[in-house]
């Protein structure tokens, strides 16, 4: 592990790197406030906007793949950390347009939640949005990955290249691009291997000392450990054969995600994780191609280089794509970006740069919604106040639950948000002065986003933004103003649940707030009373006591804890629902 760097202060490293990229590629716009890069030549009204992003440290992904025929924009978090919802929103505002926006992200929890929340907020404001989640890893098989699914690795770059070409040259619709993207993802498989972990600039060294005689197969791009260690380090031919086994062996039911023996065409990407010399890497690429040939697989296209790095990781990954003729054509299409080295056609442009001020102005539009559907402000204020007081009163009990099955702060998190909501209401917030139901829901969602930390905050915010978007759509169909009815609330709650299920694998039976939320909404959807829906939520909460956890920190606690208390998130949700609905 290399622990010495020329730059040892990581405070502004990401910002400086992005600025350096823009300084050397004049067609790129650098937005310093939001750590994003935008293609100045992109017209979001003429063609669909493609935005990707994630933690820094994977360069040239994602910012280096912004350009004609590839990404419209990319947003960067800190090293190995997801960008914030605010950053993503501003990237959508600066690059997006009336043709719609597709967010292409890798399957990591922070990215999935933050990008989905940004999409819901944009959808709430009337923007056409879709989120494509890429999972191409095969090393962490079905049993271990469970509902979380496959990790996103270098195959993401092939997805972005194909969709970028189709968006640029065929002017496909957002729906068409999303469907094509799903097809590409379903036919991708990647596995990586590394000699060592990497060191983050400005961070202390860890117990992961330099290893000298082993290799980890299946190692992730954020220092995640591999699925197994080979010691002593084998010959490169043996290593590549074992990696290809994970990609190709149809007898391995845990990892047989894609069948390649019946492929129309196969695309190979050999990806340098950042620390392998060009000389050695080129020789390794030759080995991969040769070992594939021994299995009677002859790739139609081969891409070799540093596309998705892990800082200066001493490792590489192998990606195989079961490709159609259309995918090959899209991969061959011209692209102009710093990080795409194959079939590159550079063009110059005198198009004037957009300013960050324009992005700020457009971003403000994401936060202003209106609807012909109205709500009785007095009733809404009373319901919110009642619910907030109940959450504050339940803080200690829910924290006690969480201390046994989590990190002990679920009640505190909900109560802190409730207190912030009450304070905001005292200042005239949360309830729209004109009784606009969409404005009120959006204001409530903002308080949640700003005060509720962690996964709970993202889940509640995604739900609320989707509820608001559904109510806005319902209001747009009206000719005149009227009070929102039970049917619109029910439909909006179903839309919120659908949005959550796109963003998280959690379902009934996983010991999460879904165990209370899902039955509550399903009963409302069936046209039954709110009293019946509350009983369904309570029953769902009670069933979590003794239930095995499938997601979150509760997975790691002793099973005894599961039997003693219900899921804290489900318990908190029931308190909230009772406060809202029972006067």
Domains observed in the chain: 12-199+210-332 (3.40.50.10440), 371-581 (1.25.40.340)
Angle between helical axes of 486-503 and 109-124 (0-180°, round to 10): 150
pTM: 0.86
Token pair, residue 183, equals 């097809």
Token pair, residue 449, equals 């986003």
Nearest 5°: phi and psi at 75?
Answer: -125, 135
pLDDT at residue 452, as a whole number: 92
For residue 556, give the DSSP letter: G
The answer to whether 114 is annotated as binding is no
The answer to whether 57 is annotated as binding is yes
First vs last Cα of the chain: how many Å apart? 61
Q: How far apart are CA 209 and CA 223, in angstroms?
A: 13
Q: How far apart are CA 460 and CA 444, in angstroms?
A: 10
pLDDT at residue 186, as a whole number: 97
Strand extents, DSSP E, 196-286? 215-217, 228-230, 265-272
Within 78-213, residue ranges assigned H as helices are 85-95, 109-124, 142-145, 155-169, 174-186
For residue 478, give the DSSP letter: -
The answer to whether 55 is annotated as binding is yes
Name residues whose C-beta falls within 8 Å of residue 487's C-beta, 6 or more positions apart in sequence. none
- DSSP output for 39-75: ETT--TTTS-EEEEEEEESSTTTTGGGBSBTSBSEEE
Q: How far apart are CA 167 and CA 73, in angstroms?
A: 13
* Residue 222 annotated to the active site: yes
Q: Minimal CA–CA distance to 106: which of 64, 167, 148, 69?
A: 148
The answer to whether 186 is annotated as binding is no
CB distance 468 to 431 below 8 Å: no
Checking 18-22 for CB contacts under 8 A at 24+ apart, the result is: 18/63, 18/76, 21/63, 21/64, 21/338
pLDDT at residue 190, as a whole number: 97
Q: Bridge-partner residues for 103, per DSSP?
A: 51, 131
For Cα atoms 498, 94, 434, give the angle at the middle one, nearest 5 degrees.
60
pLDDT at residue 353, as a whole number: 40
Q: Bridge-partner residues for 105, per DSSP?
A: 133
pLDDT at residue 1, as a whole number: 62
CB distance 302 to 343 below 8 Å: no
Count Cβ atoms below 10 Å from residue 289 Cβ, excluding itself: 17
Which of the following is catalytic: 222, 298, 343, 389? 222
Measured CA to CA in angstroms, residue 447 lies from 45, 108, 419 at distances of 32, 25, 10
Q: Burial code of 354-390, b = ≥16 C-beta within 10 A, e = fewer? A: bebeebeebbeebeebebbbbbebeebeebbbbbbeb
Residue with token string 């829901």 = 441
Region of residue 167 (phi > 0: left; psi between -120 and 50: alpha; otherwise: beta): alpha
pLDDT at residue 112, as a whole number: 95
pLDDT at residue 363, as a whole number: 47
Token pair, residue 321, equals 């794509």
pLDDT tens-digit profile, the chain (583 residues): 677 889 888 889 999 999 999 999 999 999 999 999 999 999 999 999 999 999 999 999 999 999 999 999 999 999 999 999 999 999 999 999 999 999 999 999 999 999 999 999 999 989 999 999 999 999 988 888 888 889 999 999 999 999 999 999 999 999 999 999 999 999 999 999 999 888 888 777 655 544 668 999 998 898 887 788 999 999 999 999 999 999 999 999 889 999 999 999 999 999 999 999 999 999 999 999 999 999 999 999 999 999 999 999 999 999 999 999 999 999 999 999 999 976 433 333 333 344 455 555 544 544 445 689 999 999 999 999 999 999 999 999 999 998 888 878 899 999 999 999 999 999 988 888 889 999 999 999 999 999 998 889 999 999 999 999 999 999 999 999 999 999 999 999 999 999 999 999 999 999 999 999 999 999 999 999 999 999 999 999 999 999 988 876 666 666 777 788 999 999 999 999 999 999 7
pLDDT at residue 357, as a whole number: 54
Burial (CB count <10 Å: 0-12, 13-18, 19+), residue 515: buried
Q: How far apart are CA 432 and CA 232, in angstroms?
A: 66
Q: How far apart are CA 208 and CA 196, in angstroms?
A: 8
pLDDT at residue 145, as a whole number: 80
Residue with token string 């003729």 = 325
Token pair, residue 375, equals 């709500």
The answer to whether 343 is annotated as binding is no
pLDDT at residue 352, as a whole number: 34
Q: Minimal CA–CA distance to 303: which of 340, 250, 350, 258?
A: 340
Q: Minimal CA–CA distance to 111: which of 149, 167, 66, 168?
A: 149
Peptide bond into 60 cis (omega under 30): yes
């Amino acid at each position: 592990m290399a622990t010495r760097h020329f730059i040892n202060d990581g405070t502004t490293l990401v910002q400086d790197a992005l600025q350096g990229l823009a300084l050397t590629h004049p067609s790129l716009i650098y937005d310093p406030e939001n750590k994003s890069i935008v293609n100045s030549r992109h017209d979001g009204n003429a063609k669909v906007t493609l935005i990707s992003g994630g933690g820094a440290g994977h360069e040239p992904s994602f910012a280096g793949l912004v350009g004609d025929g590839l990404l419209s924009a990319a947003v960067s978090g800190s090293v190995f950390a997801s960008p914030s919802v605010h950053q993503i929103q501003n990237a959508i505002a600066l690059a997006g347009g009336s043709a719609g926006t597709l967010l292409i992200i890798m399957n990591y929890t922070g990215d999935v939640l933050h990008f989905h929340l940004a999409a819901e907020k944009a959808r709430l404001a009337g923007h056409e949005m879709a989120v494509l989640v890429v999972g191409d890893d095969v090393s962490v098989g079905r049993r271990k990955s469970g509902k979380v699914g496959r990790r996103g690795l270098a195959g993401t770059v092939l997805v972005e290249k194909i969709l970028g070409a189709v968006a640029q040259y065929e002017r496909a619709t957002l729906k068409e691009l999303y469907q094509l993207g799903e097809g590409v993802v379903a036919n991708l498989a990647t596995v990586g291997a590394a000699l060592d972990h990497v060191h983050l600039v400005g961070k202390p060294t860890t117990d992961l000392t330099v290893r000298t005689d082993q290799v980890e197969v299946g190692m992730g791009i954020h220092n995640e450990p591999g699925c197994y260690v080979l010691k002593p380090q084998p010959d490169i031919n043996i290593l590549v054969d074992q990696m290809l086994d994970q990609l190709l062996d149809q007898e391995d039911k845990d990892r047989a995600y894609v069948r390649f023996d019946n492929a129309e065409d196969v695309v190979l990407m050999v990806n340098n994780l950042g620390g392998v010399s060009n000389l050695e890497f080129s020789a390794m690429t030759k080995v991969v191609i040769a070992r594939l040939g021994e299995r009677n697989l002859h790739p139609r296209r081969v891409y070799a280089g540093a596309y998705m790095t892990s800082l200066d990781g001493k490792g590489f990954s192998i990606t195989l794509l079961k490709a159609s003729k259309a995918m090959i054509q899209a991969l061959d299409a011209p692209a102009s970006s710093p990080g795409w080295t194959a079939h590159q056609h550079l063009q110059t442009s005198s198009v004037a740069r957009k300013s960050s001020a324009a992005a700020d102005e457009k971003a403000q539009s994401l936060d202003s919604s209106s609807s012909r559907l109205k709500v009785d402000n007095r009733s809404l204020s009373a319901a919110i106040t009642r619910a907030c007081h109940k959450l504050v009163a339940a803080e200690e009990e829910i924290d006690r639950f969480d201390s046994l099955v989590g990190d002990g702060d679920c009640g505190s998190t909900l109560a802190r948000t409730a207190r912030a909501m009450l304070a905001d209401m005292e200042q005239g917030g949360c309830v729209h002065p004109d009784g606009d139901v969409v404005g009120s829901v959006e204001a409530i969602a903002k308080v949640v986003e700003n005060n509720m930390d962690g996964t709970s905050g993202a889940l509640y915010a995604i739900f609320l933004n989707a509820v608001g978007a559904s109510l806005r759509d319902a209001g747009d169909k009206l000719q005149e103003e009227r009070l929102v009815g039970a049917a619109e609330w029910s439909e909006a709650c179903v839309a919120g649940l659908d949005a959550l299920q796109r963003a998280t694998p959690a379902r009934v039976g996983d010991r999460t707030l879904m165990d209370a939320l899902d039955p509550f909404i399903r009963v409302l959807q069936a046209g039954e009373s709110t009293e019946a829906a509350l009983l369904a939520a309570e029953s769902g909460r009670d069933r979590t006591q003794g239930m095995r956890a499938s997601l979150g920190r509760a997975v790691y606690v002793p099973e005894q804890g599961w039997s003693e208390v219900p899921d804290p998130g489900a318990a908190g949700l029931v308190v909230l629902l009772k406060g809202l609905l029972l006067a």
